[in-house]
Amino acid sequence: MANPSVETVNTSGDKLILVAGVLLVLAGFVGFFWLSGQEWYVCGAALAVGVIAGVAVGLLSAPGKSFVAFAKDSYKEVCKVVWPTRKEATQTTLVVFAFVLLMAIFLWLSDKSIEWVIFSAILGWK
């Protein structure tokens, strides 16, 4: 049974738009290396223009539009998160550090106890 949440590009128009976007990104990279003898900002501009144009064209396709909608919904959800106050975050951090310290001491005592039982009590090594 197919996963219904997976989207595929079905129309040839969407496929052509995505191919055009990829080609524009590749053109930006080619331009970057082709202009390598120029100043750094010329090479960077060629790369930036190619990547930005490719992404912009890719966002015009149906998968691109659904990605934009997903990003907007995700941003709305992040805005709904109730972040802890500075005091709550500090208290939680201190509790975690205290627990880690107690566990370290417990594990060290357990290790030394087992070491003593095996090497001193059972094997008789000193």
Q: Quickly tell me which residue has 């053109």 as its tokens.
A: 27
Can you give the pTM of this predicted structure? 0.54
Per-residue pLDDT band for 14 (boundaries 50, 70, 90) equals confident
> Are 45 and 94 within one domain?
no
Domain of residue 118: give its range: 83-126
What is the per-residue pLDDT for 75? 95
pLDDT at 125: 79
Kindly state whether residues 36 and 21 are assigned to the same domain.
yes
Give the pLDDT confidence score for residue 3 in this predicted structure. Answer: 56
Q: How confident is the model at residue 13 (pLDDT cuts 50, 70, 90)?
A: confident
* DSSP of the chain: ---TT-----SHHHHHHHHHHHHHHHHHHHHHHHTTTS-HHHHHHHHHHHHHHHHHHHTTSHHHHHHHHHHHHHHHHHHT--PPPHHHHHHHHHHHHHHHHHHHHHHHHHHHHHHIIIIIIIS---
What's the CA gap between 59 and 112, in Å, rounded?
61
Decide if 46 contacts 32 (C-beta within 8 A): yes
pLDDT band for position 4 (50/70/90)? Answer: low
Q: What is the pLDDT of residues 83-111, one digit of tens each?
A: 999 999 999 999 999 999 999 999 999 99
Rounded Cα–Cα distance for residues 108 and 111 (Å) = 5
How many angstroms from the chain centroid is the CA of residue 15?
27
Tell me: do 67 and 26 sit in the same domain.
yes
Check pLDDT > 80 for residue 1: no
Q: Which residues contact 32 (CB under 8 A, 6 or more apart)?
A: 43, 44, 46, 47, 50
Query: Based on C-alpha coordinates, what's the Rg of the chain?
Result: 29
Q: What total of structural domains would you count in the chain?
A: 2
Q: Is residue 6 part of a domain?
A: no
Tens of pLDDT, residue by residue over 33-88, are 999 899 999 999 999 999 999 999 999 999 899 999 999 999 999 999 999 999 99
| Mean pLDDT within 99-125 | 93
